[in-house]
Structure formats: structure tokens, C-alpha cells
Chain A
Amino acid sequence: MYGLGVAKGMLTTVKHLVRPPVTVQFPDETRPIPKRARTNLVWFVERCTGCSTCAQACPDGCILVQTQPREDGSFLVERYEIDFRLCMYCALCVEACPYEAIQVGGPYNDVVTEPQPALPR
């Protein structure tokens, strides 16, 4: 049977002709992130109690939590900073947080032209 290979090849070509392109036009549209992907971190101020469990769970020590005790015994979170130059995006802080105050899924456009000031060593 001659010409079968040519027909198969043409079938593939025609398939690719009518198929929509796979390219995601990034700045206009983004791909959905997988559910358990480890990406940038988002911090929710209204859920955070200032317990610093995330900072203790962080292997790099890149989370800085500074709190002030209130009169009723809770904590007022004065500073909450994550040094994304040190962060290795392991999401152990997300697992550790008992109040789900820190979650994965931040924005992509966090690129900078200057390095932020370094943590004291």
C-alpha cells in the first residue's frame, strides 16, 4: 500500500492547521496555576494573629513578624515582611499557618530593577 505514510503525514499537517495555537498570550491572559503549586505568597492581614508560626517554620528565615501585645492579650502586627530574594518558595509557611493567613498564588509582575535592602545577618 503506497502513499499511506504521505497520507498520515498530511493528516497531521491538516490537524495542526485547524487546531488553535497553544501559545498563551501572557500579559493579556495567564494559564491557571495548578491547585497545589508553590508560587508567590499572599498575606491576609485580617486573618493573621501575629503568632509567628510561619517565621519559625521558614527554613531560610526570610519572614519577619514584628508584633505588639494588645490589652486583651492578642497581638497587633506592626510589620510583616517576606524577603523574596531569600525565599525558596517551599510553602512550608503555608502548611504551618493555623489560620490560613498566608497562601500561595501571588502576582507574577513582582520583578524589580533594584535589590531590596538585605536582611541583617
Chain B
Amino acid sequence: MPHDPNLVPVLDASADSIEADLSQQLLLTRVDAVLTWARRSSLWPVMFGLACCAIEMIATATSRYDIARFGAEVFRASPRQADLMIVAGTVTWKMAVPVRRIYLQMAEPKYVISMGSCSNIGGPFAHGYSVLPGVNNVVPVDVYVPGCPPRPESLLSGLMLLQDVMKQEGLTGKRQRPEPSGDFSTMLPPDDPIRRELESLFPPYLSKDGLPRDPETGALPHDTLIGGNS
């Protein structure tokens, strides 16, 4: 069966109708509550740190602070197995592309904690040329943890707030966080290779050169959706 070129692989058009069907059933709503509890009690973060905030993130995992009390101690080396991304540190423009890629590679439902002033808005480098002014320009952020770097207690507070947010979202079934627009025209020059690469990671996921998909197979000319080597 030929692949529909207009269908973006990460989206599932039939999911809405199925969920509308299932939400009518009492048993499955109880299952949903249990599922939300299980999700928020086992938030596995991706193991990556960008700057000095990562040291505090490691300190949070030590026995003194013990992030395992919240079920989030399993720092996974693969984004496929992770639910939570702790953006800990300065996100430079060059690093913004891998951050976005790692976010796309994570499986739904996925959550993002922005840790520290640098990833919140750029921090002391907010007016510089090389630092992303806020990681919410690249990935949707659930919880912002201020600090430079935040103490481990602050990160634990952020984790608890995220668990509360997940509890609310489990009741209402809606994600509250705003999606990034993917428009970097006010921040980067038009011919910037990093800008082209970043915009290729936003819908409609065109290639780096802005080329459309192959009408036969739906594949990109090169450098496919999330950096694969197909």
C-alpha cells in the first residue's frame, strides 16, 4: 500500500474518534486514573545534561536528595524509553537541534522540565548571539525551575509540580502547555544552516533544503524525519 505523502508519520488521524468512543465508558475512565497515577509515579528522565545545571541534576539523584522517592531515578540513555526531559543548562543554537531531535524521538506522553535560568530564557546570556532565548522556542515546556543553578530541592519541587500538572491533565484530558511556533525569523538570519535544520524539525517536517516529500514513498530526499539514515 503506497504511503500517503501528506500524512506526517508522527500523527494518527484516527486517534481522536477512538478516544471520543472510549471516554463514554465508565470502566475505562477508572483505568485512565490508574494509568495517570502510574505515569506520574514513574517519570523516567532522559540522561543528558548541557551545563552546570546537570551537576545539580546528578546531585538530585544521589542518596541525600534521592529522586528515586518520586520514581524518577532511572535516567535512561535512550529517549525511546524516557518520559521526561530535564533540559539542564545553556541551550546554544547549535545544541538546539539535538535537543529538538531528542524530544521528537521520545515516546508520547512526554514531559519537559526547563531547569535553570539559561534554559528558561537564556539567563545571563539572554542578550548574546549564540544562546537560545528560552528552550520553549524549541520544545513545549511543562514546568520552569528558576535558579542558577537550582538547588536539588528546587528540582524536586519542579518534579512535584509536574506530577500535580499530570494529575490535573489526567482529570481533564488536556495538555495545557503551549507548543513552540517553529518560527525563527526574528532570531536567526534566513540563510542560517542551523535555522534551516531547526525548521526541518517542525511540522510539516520538510527537508533541510525545504524540498517536499517523495510523492511515491512519502520519504524525504535525505536526512529524514528524526535524523535517521534511511
Tell me whether A84 and B69 are in contact in the complex, defined as CB-CB below 8 angstroms, given that A23-B64, A26-B156, A112-B143 are known contacts: no
Contact A89 B148, beta carbon cutoff 8 Å: yes
- When each residue 24-54 of chain A gets 1 if its CB lies under 8 Å from chain B and 0 otherwise, what string results? 1111001100000001100000000000000
Q: How large is the interface on B (under 10, 10 to 19, 20 to 34, 35 or more residues)?
A: 35 or more
Contact B146 A87, beta carbon cutoff 8 Å: yes
Tell me whether A109 and B157 are in contact in the complex, defined as CB-CB below 8 angstroms, given that A85-B117, A85-B123 are known contacts: yes
Tell me how far the C-beta of B28 lies from the nearest C-beta in chain A, rounded to whole angstroms.
Answer: 28
Tell me how far the C-beta of B4 lies from the nearest C-beta in chain A, rounded to whole angstroms.
Answer: 37
Tell me whether A88 and B123 are in contact in the complex, defined as CB-CB below 8 angstroms, given that A27-B160, A110-B154, A111-B144 are known contacts: yes
Q: Classify the interface of chain A: helix, strand, loop or mixed.
A: loop
Contact A115 B120, beta carbon cutoff 8 Å: yes
Residue of B nearest to A114 (CB): B144
- When each residue 38-66 of chain B gets 1 if its CB lies under 8 Å from chain A and 0 otherwise, what string results? 00000000000000000000000001111
Contact A115 B123, beta carbon cutoff 8 Å: no
Contact A30 B153, beta carbon cutoff 8 Å: yes
Residue of A nearest to B159 (CB): A111
Residue of B nearest to A90 (CB): B148
**B121 neighbours in A (Cβ, 8 Å):** 85-86, 115, 118
**B176 neighbours in A (Cβ, 8 Å):** 113
Residue of B nearest to A38 (CB): B148
Tell me how far the C-beta of B180 lies from the nearest C-beta in chain A, rounded to whole angstroms.
Answer: 12
Q: Which residues of B contact A (CB under 8 A)?
A: 63-66, 69, 117, 120-124, 126-127, 134, 136, 141-148, 151-154, 156-158, 160-161, 165, 176-177
Q: Which residues of A contact B (CB under 8 A)?
A: 21-27, 30-31, 39-40, 59-60, 84-90, 108-115, 118, 121
